[in-house]
Structure 1
């Protein structure tokens, strides 16, 4: 049946996701670490959200930004990983036309939203370290509300044309996606139309959004580093470097793995398709698993908040 739909000329109503076409025999083994990472990501982000929601001392602007990051991580995980695990465990490869493009929209919009949230959080750290006296007047609840609206609106509007352009293409035969997810490039290659405009728009939008965010993040941490090196108190300098250093490393990891995914899409003939698929899946799983640990659990106030919640539960 899959073969027939792959070569028929009837309009496509659903797609078939084929994960790791060359290594399908070890998908069950791969599902174990993916499941553990998924549980870690969901558990850590949910715990962080509950702690910030219930602990009165954490109702401050910086923790609201952390909540936004956790919400984005949860949505990304739930959009991608359950379907991947369903393919691995139950061979549920089919995905409807509308569900595929909904998944594509969420992936294309929420990843830049996460990048933009990193940028706002980097600005928060810049103000806290470089202008500590002005911090309470600059980083307010009003600022966080405006920043959240900006994060959601900018990225949703600028990335919406990607799934719309892909959905407007004619799919008159092939419906087998060689990927675990409905990535734009993987889906648009199946169309009968020319999808050059689609590729150009995603390339320009992606580099504009993510590139501008990373430049601003880099500048923020450059100013932070310069300010920290001027600290006379060595202990304060070490603490600031430790906190901001771990944040910046995580942001670089997020940006680097995304860059690898883009480059491997462009040069797919030189890179194994299975490696590309694995990178796509991991990029929606590893950052959500690490973000709440690096940004949240390592923070003294959140540690104390989690301990209080655990004590209440006991």
Structure 2
């Protein structure tokens, strides 16, 4: 990167956890470790179930499998480092490692948002245009949607990371966060072009996130309108149940994000900001596989058939 040879800062110090009492850090470590392991296990279980059960080889579960992959990679990008820092007195991260962490977190994070949008479109086609569903959501079309979601995430990751790390960092080098996040890094940058770069990065990120959110809202506006036209209550319930888990994940995803990024600035503090950021980055991936596993009867039955029947054959 161009800015790498022009900055005297060779490393950063992450001080996001310094606001918490030291005796609580081992408790946080154990809690976050268990949640992280459960997140990995839940998503791997979803992927293994979709892979092993031929009845789940449909567009909806292809997208769910891709979503689980992006979620696993997103958490791997920063949670292991965060767990180490919880028990470490020296929370230093090199300039290159900070840039790498930011690239992967933004890439997988935005890929996750794009895939949620694609899943909303899939449910819209399935409910509003069921006769055209096999054509619109064919194998090639689904692969292209997943591929473009990844391409979009990679592009945003590259744009944001290249923009931030082309800035000059003259010191201090203490990041008031537990990971290499854009706002605290911008506070450490120096130069007349920092406000312009900050505006550009903010515009790209907000436009992408709001665009995804608006498309999901439009999809569900048409879905709800179509469901209300179904004459029987049983038919309406069956139609809505196919998208209930996706809708709950969207609410959790954007609900936590709005609390963090849209809260009033005058109520912000280092401690509350770090706590809410940890909640979003750890709790949201933790809840996602739970919601999909418990709210999706077909997936839950497939998990029981694929795994529990092998462990407890007498109960199947």
TM-based fold match above 0.5:
yes
Which residue of structure 2 aligns with residue 300 of structure 1?
A: 297
Specify every segment of 5 or more residues in structure 1 that has no aligned partner in the other structure, as ranges: 1-9
**Over residues 62-109 of structure 1, what are the superposed CA-to-partner deviations in whole Å (9 max), with x where a residue is unaligned?**
211011100111011111211111111233511111111111112222
Q: Aligned to 1:95, what secondary structure does the other structure show?
A: strand
Which residue of structure 1 aligns with residue 99 of structure 2?
A: 101
Which residue of structure 2 aligns with residue 5 of structure 1?
A: none
Deviation of the 1:159 alpha carbon: 3.9
CA distance in 2, matches of 1:91, 1:55: 47
- TM-score, length basis structure 1: 0.89
Tell me if the contact between 2:110 and 2:156 (Cα under 8 Å) persists in the aligned partners.
Answer: no
Which residue of structure 1 aligns with residue 190 of structure 2?
A: 192
- TM-score, length basis structure 2: 0.89
Q: Aligned to 1:33, what secondary structure does the other structure show?
A: helix
Which residue of structure 1 aligns with residue 177 of structure 2?
A: 179
Tell me if the contact between 1:20 and 1:273 (Cα under 8 Å) persists in the aligned partners.
Answer: no
Which residue of structure 2 aligns with residue 289 of structure 1?
A: 286
Structure 1 pair 152–119 and aligned structure 2 pair: CA distance change class (3 A): same
Specify every segment of 5 or more residues in structure 2 that has no aligned partner in the other structure, as ranges: 1-6
Structure 1 pair 85–292 and aligned structure 2 pair: CA distance change class (3 A): same
CA distance in 2, matches of 1:187, 1:309: 46
Matched, 1:274 2:271: yes
- Count how many residue pairs are aligned between Structure 1 and Structure 2: 304
Tell me if the contact between 1:159 and 1:205 (Cα under 8 Å) persists in the aligned partners.
Answer: no
Deviation of the 1:221 alpha carbon: 0.6
Which residue of structure 1 aligns with residue 4 of structure 2?
A: none
Which residue of structure 1 aligns with residue 210 of structure 2?
A: 211
Which residue of structure 2 aligns with residue 255 of structure 1?
A: 254
Q: Aligned to 1:15, what secondary structure does the other structure show?
A: strand
CA distance in 2, matches of 1:250, 1:27: 29
Tell me if the contact between 1:28 and 1:88 (Cα under 8 Å) persists in the aligned partners.
Answer: yes
**Over residues 174-204 of structure 1, what are the superposed CA-to-partner deviations in whole Å (9 max), with x where a residue is unaligned?**
1211110100111221123242122112211
Tell me if the contact between 2:47 and 2:68 (Cα under 8 Å) persists in the aligned partners.
Answer: yes
CA distance in 2, matches of 1:27, 1:198: 35
Deviation of the 1:252 alpha carbon: 2.3
Aligned Cα root-mean-square deviation (Å): 2.1
Deviation of the 1:139 alpha carbon: 1.2
Deviation of the 1:118 alpha carbon: 0.8
Which residue of structure 2 aligns with residue 57 of structure 1?
A: 55
Deviation of the 1:28 alpha carbon: 2.3
Deviation of the 1:289 alpha carbon: 1.7
CA distance in 1, matches of 2:266, 2:80: 29
Structure 1 pair 104–268 and aligned structure 2 pair: CA distance change class (3 A): farther
CA distance in 1, matches of 2:105, 2:53: 31
CA distance in 1, matches of 2:242, 2:287: 14
**Over residues 144-177 of structure 1, what are the superposed CA-to-partner deviations in whole Å (9 max), with x where a residue is unaligned?**
1110121111232134221112111222321211
